[in-house]
Amino acid sequence: PINKLKIVKKRTNKFRRFQSDKFMRVPESWRAPRGIDGRMRRRFRGTPRHPKCGYGSNKKTRGLLPIGLRKFRVSNVADVELLMMQNRKYAAEIAHNVSTRKRKAIVERAQQLNVVVTNANAKLRSEENE
């Protein structure tokens, strides 16, 4: 990476939906509380925190991988060529629906161009039976 900034997360644990621990029918994914008398909506003391814009990440580090690069989804070798001059800013991530044969070609070309591939050894079986 060009300049490695320290990635600071203001909050690492997820915002859980109110009473999702109490009832199986209430999933954990966040939804805003809407009850007319609900203490969560009225933000009473002792209730969990709500998500707010203040918890957002620094604009410069938002979307950065821990290695300091941003993801760029790649489906073929031509997409890797786009990262030729941006290999210190972006890391390639091979799309999930790319075949093993194309993956090998993508990884090989990425090594030549010095591009980081985050999931380089996904879907590659070891060839020990030969």
| Angle, CA 58 vertex, CA 86 and CA 12 arms, to 5° | 110
Amino acid at 109: R
Q: What pLDDT does 4 receive?
A: 81
Query: What pLDDT, on a 0 to 100 scale, did the predictor assign at position 124?
Result: 78
Segments of the chain with pLDDT less than 50 = 129-130
Q: Are 26 and 17 in contact (CB under 8 A)?
A: yes
d(CA 18, CA 107): 45
User: What whole-number distance in Å separates Cα of residue 80 and Cα of residue 102?
Assistant: 12
User: What is the reported pLDDT for 126?
Assistant: 66
Tell whether pTM > 0.85. Answer: no
pLDDT at 127: 58
pLDDT at 120: 92
Residue type, 98: V
Residue 17 sits at φ, ψ, to 5 deg, of: -70, 140
